[in-house]
Amino acid sequence: MRTIPAFDLFFIVFYALLIPLIGVTAWSISGRLEVFPLLLLSLALYLRLALRRPLRRKRAAQAPFPGEWREFLLASSPYFHGLDEEGRLRFERYVRLFLADTRIAGTGGAPVSWATRVLVAAGVATMLHGLPEWEPPLADGVTVYPGYSFDRNYRPGRGNIAGQAPIGGPLLVAEKSLLDGFAGQRDGTNVLLHELAHYFDLEARKGSMGIRPGTGSAVPWAELIAGEYERHDFAASPLSAYAAQNEAEFFAVASEMFFENPWPLQAAHPGLFEILREFYRQDPRRVLARRTREGRPGGI
């Protein structure tokens, strides 16, 4: 995540140049000097609106990271704990940028605790750590449900749905399941990472993303995942049985294990592991192994 995404910067500059060009063109046609005050007013109004998000992100990126948050992440996130100091600073910047941009609220717009907000941001920062040019595809924010689950009618405390990634809506996650995802040590499950993976999968399928899994030529993302899903031996897989549901769940479950406990995945399915390593442009084994060598216990 960049302080000002390249996409945003392009359009800010483009329209900041286009507005004066339109004004000068209007003046050359009409010859009326009144065009210039209107031009300046239009440009000022545009810049005020266009720069609001970049300035908010810049302030967030420069703000000091609360010590309480860092201690919480060191205890709660094995991934954050395993980073070196430079990596932690980048992780913390991603957390601040995400929280400055993204609405995280409980059902009915109720506020949620800072710890829950930081854990949601930590999931994003983990998955984007190797992808500085990417932005989290969560324009609709995150809705946190109380308890461990909700049902298909979105009633808290019922059913068995711990998270959901609907198209055209906020990411949904049950708060206690979210906490459990970070509390488990190497259990290979994390509902937040699972649901975030669905959004990244959708973004990859919409674009022209190609992956070179140890080959010389890029394979379209959808084709690559479809082939891996068809070849996967689910009976002998370290992935949970839910991965067999369809290609999307296969990728999401594999992404959970990739970040939570990558060693069994790499040992059993090196091809799949390589696809994920190239997709996320990182190898969590290096991060988690550093944490293991330091001998810190995991969980919150």
252-288 per-position pLDDT tens digit = 999 999 999 999 999 999 999 999 999 999 999 999 9
- pLDDT for 214: 61
Task: Give the pLDDT of residue 13.
Answer: 80
Please report the pLDDT score of residue 276 as a whole number.
94
What range does the domain containing 104 cover?
A: 63-294
Q: What CATH number does residue 287 fall under? A: 3.40.390.10
d(CA 74, CA 67) in angstroms, rounded, equals 11
pLDDT at 16: 79
Residues 152 and 35 both lie in one domain: no
Neighbours of 86 (CB within 10 A): 8
- Burial zone of 85 (CB within 10 Å; 0-12 exposed, 13-18 middle, 19+ buried): exposed
Burial 205-238 (b: 16+ CB within 10 A, else e): eeeeeebebeeeeeeebeebbeebbeebeeeebb
Residues in the chain with pLDDT values less than 50: 296-300
Q: Which residue, 17, 38, 60, sits at the end of a domain?
A: 60
CB 179 within 8 A of CB 168: no
Has residue 44 been placed in a domain? yes
Q: Domain total for the chain?
A: 2
Q: Let me know if residue 300 belongs to a domain.
A: no
CA-CA-CA-CA torsion sign (50, 53, 56, 62): negative
Same domain, 280 and 146: yes
Look at residue 229 and tell me if it is in a domain: yes
- pLDDT value, residue 165: 93
